[in-house]
Chain A
Amino acid sequence: MPVPLDPSAKFAEYAHPEVLVSTSWLADNSNLPGVVVVESDEDVLLYETGHIPGAVKIDWHTDLNDPVTRDYVDGAGFAALMKRSGISRDTTVIIYGDKSNWWASYALWVFKLFGHADVRLLDGGRDAWIAEGRVLTREKPEITPAEYPIVDRDDHSIRAFRDDVLKHFGNPLIDVRSAVEYSGERTHMPDYPDEGALRGGHIPSAKSVPWARAAGEHGVFKSRAELEAIYLDEIGLKSGDNVIAYCRIGERSSHTWFVLNYLLGLPGVRNYDGSWTEWGSLVGVPIVKGTEPGLAPVR
Chain B
Amino acid sequence: MSSPKESIASLIEDFNAISVQDRLMLLLEFSDNLAPLPARYAEHPDLLERVEECQSPVYLFVEVNDDKRVGLFFSAPAEAPTTRGFAGVLQEALDGHSVDEVLAVDEDFPNRLGLAEAVSPLRLNGMRAILRRIKRQIKEKSA
Q: Which residues of A contact B (CB under 8 A)?
A: 42-46, 48-49, 59, 61-62, 98, 191-195
Contacts and interface: CB of A to CB of B under 8 A. Distances in A.
Nearest to A46: B81
B25 A48 contact: yes
Interface string B98-133: 000000000000000000011110110110000000
By secondary structure, the A interface counts as: loop
B125 A193 contact: yes
Given A48-B24, A49-B31, A49-B78, A42 B119 contact: no
B120 A43 contact: no
A43 B25 contact: no
A98 B56 CA distance: 12
Interface in B12-54: 24-25, 27-28, 31, 52-54
Q: Give the most central of B53, B79, B83, B85: most A CB within 10 Å.
A: B79
Given A45-B119, A193-B126, 4 more contacts: A43-B79, A43-B80, A48-B24, A49-B81
B57 interface: yes
Contacts of A43: 55-56, 79-83
A43 B78 CA distance: 11
A171 B113 CA distance: 48
A45 B83 CA distance: 9
A191 B28 CA distance: 22
Contacts of A48: 24-25, 28, 81
A113 to B, nearest CB: 20
Contacts of A49: 28, 31, 78, 81
26 contacts: A42-B55, A43-B82, A44-B24, A44-B82, A44-B119, A45-B24, A45-B27, A45-B28, A45-B31, A45-B85, A45-B119, A46-B79, A46-B81, A46-B82, A48-B25, A59-B120, A61-B120, A62-B117, A62-B118, A62-B119, A191-B52, A191-B57, A193-B54, A193-B122, A193-B126, A195-B122
B119 A193 contact: no
Contact of B123 (A46, A61, A98): A61
A45 B122 contact: no
Contacts of B24: 44-45, 48
A99 B118 CA distance: 21
A282 B85 CA distance: 36
Contacts of B53: 193-194
B120 A44 contact: yes
Contacts of B31: 45, 49
Contacts of A98: 79
Nearest to A194: B53
A45 B55 contact: no
A44 to B, nearest CB: 5
Contacts of A195: 122
Nearest to B30: A45
Contacts of A193: 53-55, 122-123, 125-126
A62 B120 contact: yes
B59 to A, nearest CB: 12
Contacts of B120: 44, 59, 61-62
Contact of A192 (B25, B55, B78, B118): B55
Interface string B52-82: 1111110000000000000000000011111
Contacts of B85: 45
A5 B1 CA distance: 60
Nearest to B25: A48
A191 B83 CA distance: 13
B28 A44 contact: no
A192 B52 CA distance: 7
B118 to A, nearest CB: 7
B53 to A, nearest CB: 6
B15 to A, nearest CB: 14
Q: Give the most central of A42, A48, A191: most B CB within 10 Å.
A: A48
A127 to B, nearest CB: 9
Contacts of B56: 42-43
